[in-house]
Amino acid sequence: MAAQTIETKLREQLSQLPLEKRYRVLEFARSLAASQVRGVPGKALLRYVGSIDAADLTIMQQAIEEACERVAVDEW
């Protein structure tokens, strides 16, 4: 979707909102613009490829499968 299209659609939606909600959208947009991206790009982590022993990876995989593939019916 082209930037112009997004801006046009955003203007259309904003024009339908009451003033109070327009201010909320403005505040949200400002908070998005001010927020900083956190984390590390995946490319920077490539130097760690192969640094975990294969046996340890197998143990981790088994633990994940055992713990994450269960459904706790009583919790829903």
> Which phi and psi angles does 18 have, rounded to 5°?
-70, 160
pLDDT tens digit sequence for 24-57 = 999 999 999 999 888 999 999 999 999 999 999 9
Q: Does residue 23 fall inside a structural domain?
A: yes
Q: Does residue 44 fall inside a structural domain?
A: no
Q: How many domains does the chain have?
A: 1
Q: Does residue 24 fall inside a structural domain?
A: yes
User: Which range marks the domain in which residue 11 is found?
Assistant: 3-34
- Residue 1, pLDDT score: 59
Q: Does residue 51 fall inside a structural domain?
A: no
- B/e letters for 27-66, b = 16+ CB within 10 Å, e = fewer, are eeeeeeeeeeeeeeeeeeeeeeeeeeeeeeeeeeeeeeee
Q: Does residue 21 fall inside a structural domain?
A: yes
Q: pTM score, two decimals? A: 0.47
